[in-house]
Chain A
């Protein structure tokens, strides 16, 4: 796509803190989420899950379950289609196991019954004979040649000698000669880090309602980040044609990447197909933790050389990630993002993924980047400490900027890292005094951002209002931002625009709400659709006035004559044009379909102060400030909200959140009691400072903002804790027992 090169404009609607259109529904309890929909004759579904982390399924006997009064259907993996691409087959086998169960909680069979209680009772009647196999959940152990093999035949083409068949992915990025760089350094630090798997922790469990008729046509209501992705996966897994399945996205109670795939949806469809009745499945919180995607767990080595003036001479990183029981490419994103904040002459990153007996990874906000950048930013901080350098000045000295050849290949265009660092340096937080036992941490963060396939429709209603139909579930206020951009482009008040999110039969394909893409890509498509509608309106007006369409321009919500030969006509407003539309050629609508490019990378810097209790190892977060380049903040409240929310998810990751497995691979903490997401009383105010360095790839300069803010907190907190404690922490989470142990060892 050609980049727009437009003069900097004064916005009328964009940039205002407007009320979101779905606000009233969501504060009154009226908004309908995944579990809130019912259908006449509806059955309730329930899923039987493996009690073992790794076992061969010798047999499944459903006879007794089928015979129970009220049971209408029982399905297993055998009810799904056989032929599909490998990635979809992995999704299928994750929804209902085939041959082997690969992790504690892996779905094995499902029941639809007249009530949830009957369905659950029926699960107890399904007899599954397992042959339990040795399991592995630790990534470093899984890579060893003697590790239990999670899935045979999935290894990278050539498994290096000494590594396990569990190694499924390998990648390498970088440029220059790191060895020469290390030789030129005054100090080289080489450290190893680990990060635990964490869960997105959305408060709404997965839920869906599926209804398939005997003609094979089906409707599916579900909580998802992308109804088209659900349709694609489900139609393949069920062996249906896409046109036979209509998917409607409910309001979504959080996703953070975790609702970009399917878990229960194909199961509900298979049950409905068999029972001939609508089937609803709602996961319990335990099921969410056991069987939906956490992020990768990682083990990382980082080596960085620095001169005594603070210039980084070289950096290398080796990332070992595990995305659970199925191949996972997330490590490539970590390997690309690791050093993205730096302008380096020599950099190299290597990535490996290994299979383990853990749930299948699902995307989690900037997937792969927080772990890698945590490790790199920790080493940079330690170099600064040991060389007695200011960590912010060192970041500025080495910062990637426009024209920098990035560590992963492309050359950066206009980027906001330097401006963000300068803003942090100028902020009172950076100069505020610290008391004894307190420490200040700093980290840069980065995310690529994404554009992707988008299809929108914009209708000019005859009363002069405007309807927008778009296809991306609104996960944090995007309906407001999209309405604002349409109002801006059309020159009408925000209140006259209503944006709705359509089902899969109403628009062309839309990629999922991910990659921080919606405000950028859907916004861009809406602007183009508005321009399409404007062109049509100008053509109608030209006919009314009897002049060339080129002699009509659109200014402030109205068509005006322009140019020497246009004549003089009073402007015709959008409402006037709309009112006449039936007489001038029929309804007026604008459309836009594209695969958007030019998303524009995003950088952020986080500053945090903590206090460590030296007797208990507890960390208290005292002050937190987020600085981030938003390109253009369309609705600043919701940009700040992304920055604050991402920061707090990162704080949880840094301090307390982790998947805990026992020696047999059972998940020990599948609930909010022991999987500890931050609560309100854990946190200080989170200050958000928005910078606006326009993205040249968007007419209004918009960049995605959703993912970058989860990247810096891990290292920012680790650096703050390490400075407060006087000992370098290299494993996440920095839970109190771990910190106390480090303090005790230090003496």
Chain B
């Protein structure tokens, strides 16, 4: 195995493109090193992207924020303006692993790992975030929602790297939230999760909504029926019941050591309901 520490994205892409063997991109390393340890991956080349200019920066852009691919979860959590704008996205990222893992793990890495249970991804999809991807022909933009293609699989090619994720500006009276279910209070992989992003009308009804579930299908699921249930309404009991049913209906989970399909289906709806109430309160709504 060789280790490379390029200083530009172009250099990084060139290294990846020119390597015939197995490659891994290293940001926080909290997935890659576990794979190395387990022997599930034996890379010929590791490309560490942390020294590439700009990849560790959070930069205001067009009323939103561009987040470098090597920014750690801890750094996201310490960025007051980002937390104020997209609290649900940040809380999703901050749920990944322990304090120690937060010191290293990145949002982009969580996305590129391709896990259906990734904590950062539902919030990003709910936020309509986009990723900037550097490749042999230059940068391209891609909706985060289009990146995961299946368990462990993404639309990022082997000679490409995600360099940043863009979280857009948002209208007034907006709020987002992310909740996951784990058996303990920390340190577990999500058994089911839900992100909700809302914008309210001036009368307190929900004008726009995106509801996204994690760990209940091969990729995150955008539940348009759930959003439809919310739009035009307040999150009263009847609306939430419709939302919960729509979410459970959208689940296509597996039984595994972390939970049964039945459990995931039931709990995903519960989480969506609870996340809706948090997002609604963050948007300034009151029941």
Bound together: yes
**Complex contacts, B259 vs chain A, CB 8 Å:** 736-737
**CA gap between A395 and B7 in the complex, in Å:** 71
**Complex contacts, B181 vs chain A, CB 8 Å:** 616, 618, 736
Assess the B258–A674 pair: CB atoms within 8 A: yes
User: Which chain A residue lies CB-closest to B187?
Assistant: A679
**Complex contacts, A674 vs chain B, CB 8 Å:** 188-189, 257-258
**Complex contacts, A617 vs chain B, CB 8 Å:** 263
**CA gap between A70 and B245 in the complex, in Å:** 62
Chain A residues 3 to 41 lying within 8 A of chain B, measured CB to CB, are none
- Contact partner of A736 (CB less than 8 A), chosen from B39, B183, B186, is B183
Assess the B184–A736 pair: CB atoms within 8 A: no
Q: How far is the CB of A660 from chain B (nearest CB, A)?
A: 5
Q: Mark A613-638, 1 if CB is under 8 A from B, else 0.
A: 00111100000000000000000000
User: Which chain B residue lies CB-closest to A620?
Assistant: B185
Known contacts A615-B270, A740-B267, A741-B262; is-contact A668 B257 (Cβ 8 Å): yes
- Contact partner of A740 (CB less than 8 A), chosen from B38, B185, B266, is B266
Q: How far is the CB of A121 from chain B (nearest CB, A)?
A: 11
Is A735 an interface residue when CB atoms closer than 8 A count as contact?
yes
Assess the A736–B263 pair: CB atoms within 8 A: yes
Assess the A740–B184 pair: CB atoms within 8 A: no
Chain A residues 458 to 510 lying within 8 A of chain B, measured CB to CB, are none
Is A177 an interface residue when CB atoms closer than 8 A count as contact?
no
Chain A residues 652 to 710 lying within 8 A of chain B, measured CB to CB, are 655-656, 660, 668-669, 672-674, 676, 678-679, 681-682
Is A385 an interface residue when CB atoms closer than 8 A count as contact?
no
Assess the B184–A744 pair: CB atoms within 8 A: no
**CA gap between A529 and B192 in the complex, in Å:** 61
**Complex contacts, A615 vs chain B, CB 8 Å:** 267, 270
Is B260 an interface residue when CB atoms closer than 8 A count as contact?
yes
**CA gap between A741 and B257 in the complex, in Å:** 16
**CA gap between A215 and B76 in the complex, in Å:** 62
User: Which chain B residue lies CB-closest to A733?
Assistant: B183
Assess the B183–A681 pair: CB atoms within 8 A: no
**Complex contacts, A740 vs chain B, CB 8 Å:** 263, 266-267
**Complex contacts, B270 vs chain A, CB 8 Å:** 615-616
- Contact partner of B189 (CB less than 8 A), chosen from A656, A673, A741, A744, is A673
**CA gap between A286 and B270 in the complex, in Å:** 34
**CA gap between A616 and B260 in the complex, in Å:** 12
Chain A residues 722 to 736 lying within 8 A of chain B, measured CB to CB, are 735-736
User: Which chain B residue lies CB-closest to A737?
Assistant: B263
Chain B residues 168 to 214 lying within 8 A of chain A, measured CB to CB, are 181, 183-189, 191
**CA gap between A682 and B191 in the complex, in Å:** 17
Assess the A656–B183 pair: CB atoms within 8 A: yes
Assess the B183–A676 pair: CB atoms within 8 A: yes
Chain B residues 237 to 285 lying within 8 A of chain A, measured CB to CB, are 257-260, 262-263, 266-267, 270
**Complex contacts, A679 vs chain B, CB 8 Å:** 184-187
User: Which chain B residue lies CB-closest to A615?
Assistant: B270
Assess the B186–A744 pair: CB atoms within 8 A: no
**CA gap between A120 and B270 in the complex, in Å:** 46
Assess the A681–B257 pair: CB atoms within 8 A: no
**Complex contacts, B191 vs chain A, CB 8 Å:** 736
**CA gap between A179 and B283 in the complex, in Å:** 67
**Complex contacts, A741 vs chain B, CB 8 Å:** 262-263
Q: When A and B form their complex, what is the total count of cross-chain residue pairs whose Cβ atoms lie within 8 Å? A: 56
Main secondary structure of the interface of B (DSSP, over half): loop
User: Which chain B residue lies CB-closest to A619?
Assistant: B183
**CA gap between A617 and B271 in the complex, in Å:** 13
User: Which chain B residue lies CB-closest to A669?
Assistant: B257
Assess the B188–A681 pair: CB atoms within 8 A: no
Q: How far is the CB of B69 from chain A (nearest CB, A)?
A: 24
Q: Which of the four size classes fits the interface of chain B?
A: 20 to 34
Known contacts A616-B270, A736-B263; is-contact A660 B257 (Cβ 8 Å): yes
Q: How far is the CB of B35 from chain A (nearest CB, A)?
A: 13
**CA gap between A618 and B180 in the complex, in Å:** 12
**CA gap between A80 and B183 in the complex, in Å:** 44
Assess the B267–A673 pair: CB atoms within 8 A: no
**CA gap between A288 and B39 in the complex, in Å:** 17
Q: How far is the CB of A733 from chain B (nearest CB, A)?
A: 9
**Complex contacts, A669 vs chain B, CB 8 Å:** 257
**CA gap between A656 and B186 in the complex, in Å:** 13
Q: How far is the CB of A686 from chain B (nearest CB, A)?
A: 16
User: Which chain B residue lies CB-closest to A285?
Assistant: B37
**Complex contacts, B183 vs chain A, CB 8 Å:** 618, 655-656, 676, 735-736
User: Which chain A residue lies CB-closest to B267?
Assistant: A616
**Complex contacts, B39 vs chain A, CB 8 Å:** 120
Q: How far is the CB of B107 from chain A (nearest CB, A)?
A: 20
Q: How far is the CB of B165 from chain A (nearest CB, A)?
A: 26
User: Which chain A residue lies CB-closest to B192?
Assistant: A616
Q: How far is the CB of A648 from chain B (nearest CB, A)?
A: 12
**CA gap between A741 and B267 in the complex, in Å:** 11
User: Which chain A residue lies CB-closest to B183?
Assistant: A656
Assess the A682–B263 pair: CB atoms within 8 A: no
Q: How far is the CB of A649 from chain B (nearest CB, A)?
A: 15
User: Which chain A residue lies CB-closest to B260?
Assistant: A737
**Complex contacts, B188 vs chain A, CB 8 Å:** 673-674, 676
**CA gap between A85 and B167 in the complex, in Å:** 69
**CA gap between A674 and B266 in the complex, in Å:** 21
Q: How far is the CB of A466 from chain B (nearest CB, A)?
A: 43
Q: How far is the CB of B270 from chain A (nearest CB, A)?
A: 4
User: Which chain B residue lies CB-closest to A662?
Assistant: B257
**Complex contacts, A286 vs chain B, CB 8 Å:** 38
**Complex contacts, A676 vs chain B, CB 8 Å:** 183-184, 187-188
**Complex contacts, A656 vs chain B, CB 8 Å:** 183-184
**Complex contacts, A672 vs chain B, CB 8 Å:** 187
Q: How far is the CB of B254 from chain A (nearest CB, A)?
A: 13
**CA gap between A286 and B37 in the complex, in Å:** 11
**CA gap between A618 and B188 in the complex, in Å:** 14
User: Which chain B residue lies CB-closest to A124?
Assistant: B39
Assess the A682–B257 pair: CB atoms within 8 A: no
**CA gap between A292 and B32 in the complex, in Å:** 27
User: Which chain A residue lies CB-closest to B189?
Assistant: A673
Q: How far is the CB of A620 from chain B (nearest CB, A)?
A: 8
Chain B residues 23 to 56 lying within 8 A of chain A, measured CB to CB, are 38-39
User: Which chain A residue lies CB-closest to B188?
Assistant: A676
**Complex contacts, B267 vs chain A, CB 8 Å:** 615-616, 736, 740
**CA gap between A682 and B263 in the complex, in Å:** 21
**Complex contacts, A618 vs chain B, CB 8 Å:** 181, 183
Q: How far is the CB of B243 from chain A (nearest CB, A)?
A: 14
**CA gap between A676 and B191 in the complex, in Å:** 14
- Contact partner of A681 (CB less than 8 A), chosen from B38, B185, B189, B262, is B185
**CA gap between A676 and B257 in the complex, in Å:** 12
**CA gap between A668 and B255 in the complex, in Å:** 13
**Complex contacts, B263 vs chain A, CB 8 Å:** 617, 736-737, 740-741
**Complex contacts, A668 vs chain B, CB 8 Å:** 257
User: Which chain B residue lies CB-closest to A678?
Assistant: B184
User: Which chain B residue lies CB-closest to A667?
Assistant: B257
Q: How far is the CB of B149 from chain A (nearest CB, A)?
A: 24
**Complex contacts, A682 vs chain B, CB 8 Å:** 184-186
Chain A residues 293 to 326 lying within 8 A of chain B, measured CB to CB, are none
**Complex contacts, B266 vs chain A, CB 8 Å:** 740, 744
**CA gap between A735 and B184 in the complex, in Å:** 10
Q: How far is the CB of A657 from chain B (nearest CB, A)?
A: 10
Residue from B184, B189, B270 having most chain A Cβ neighbours under 10 A: B184
**Top 10 closest pairs, chain A to chain B, by CB:** A737-B263, A681-B185, A615-B270, A668-B257, A660-B257, A682-B185, A681-B186, A656-B183, A737-B260, A679-B186
Sample 21 A-B pairs with CB under 8 A, ordered by A number: A120-B39, A286-B38, A615-B267, A617-B263, A618-B181, A655-B183, A660-B257, A668-B257, A674-B188, A674-B189, A674-B257, A676-B188, A679-B185, A679-B187, A681-B184, A681-B186, A682-B186, A736-B263, A737-B259, A737-B262, A741-B263
Q: A737-B260, A740-B267 are in contact. List 17 more A-B contacts (CB 8 A).
A: A286-B38, A616-B267, A618-B183, A673-B188, A673-B189, A674-B188, A674-B189, A676-B183, A676-B187, A679-B186, A681-B184, A681-B185, A736-B183, A736-B191, A736-B267, A737-B262, A741-B263
